[in-house]
Amino acid sequence: MAAARSFLGVPVYKPRVAFFELSSCEGCQLQLLNNEDTLPDFLSLVEVVNFREAMTGGTDDYEIAFVEGSVTRGDEIERLREVRGKAKTLVALGSCACFGGVNQLKNRFDPDWVKKEVYGDRQVESERAKPLEDIVTVDLRILGCPINKKEVEGIMVNLAIGKEIKTPKYPVCMECKANGNTCLFDLGEPCLGPITRAGCNSCCPNGRAGCWGCRGPAEDGNLAQMTVIMERYGFSKETIIDRLECFGGFSDYASQLRTIKLKNSS
């Protein structure tokens, strides 16, 4: 067993953390493992006691639980409640856990029709996709699809030392402009950057792809101004609603937008 780390003779506390997944692609957990250059530093901050993608075995003696994925089955509800009961801090990891993610797109349709289309005559339990906070209390949300590994490392440092965790309140547009990008609207691409919470370093616009809003609404996002921009660049209401509904964080915005009449919409 490795010797306990210390600083100036004082033992360094390493919280016991565990990672769990519900209905998801597990891409958010994979992001952490992909970060090979800083993974040793990340692991030096915590004691990982349960992480199916990275280790065998594991224990249920954890303080911080990171849960990826949305809730779509009864057994997932039971499992999530069990994890919540054992964790001092429960973290919703990624858009599926925070908003329902891509999984919640099926909520727009009759659930029996969805199961028939996907699974045929097989009897499969698959209900409406829900974010974690519909079932249990969530202490912290880490946004994105997938998560930004550098952001997670920063959050982990703050968790380990007990420092307040803050996420940007401003929209992706501010990061995009700071990165010197040409506005995607000027390139003919719809984009939710004006109303989506920053923190991703505008990774999609950096690659000349419009923002799909995986991080959810920025604080005081201006939907009225968003519609003005849409009309100015000739995008239909339906085009933006498709993006608003993709990850689940903008369901309220989508509902509002459906009530607004745009000049270029039927």
pLDDT value for 9: 58
pLDDT value for 139: 96
pLDDT value for 247: 97
Question: With 90 as the cut, is the pLDDT of residue 69 above it?
Answer: yes
| Domains of the chain, CATH where assigned | 9-161 (3.40.50.700), 172-258 (no CATH)
What's the pLDDT tens digit per position in 154-203? 888 787 777 888 889 999 999 999 999 999 999 999 999 999 999 999 99
The model carries a pTM of: 0.90
Q: What is the mean pLDDT of residues 46-54?
A: 91
pLDDT value for 1: 42
Residue 245 makes CB contacts below 8 A (sequence gap 6+) with 105, 108, 251, 254
Question: With 90 as the cut, is the pLDDT of residue 46 above it?
Answer: no
With cut-offs at 50, 70 and 90, classify the pLDDT of residue 264: low
Question: With 80 as the cut, is the pLDDT of residue 35 above it?
Answer: no
pLDDT value for 143: 96
What's the pLDDT tens digit per position in 133-151? 999 999 999 999 999 888 8
What's the pLDDT tens digit per position in 74-133? 999 999 999 999 999 999 999 999 999 999 999 999 989 999 999 999 988 999 999 999
With cut-offs at 50, 70 and 90, classify the pLDDT of residue 3: low
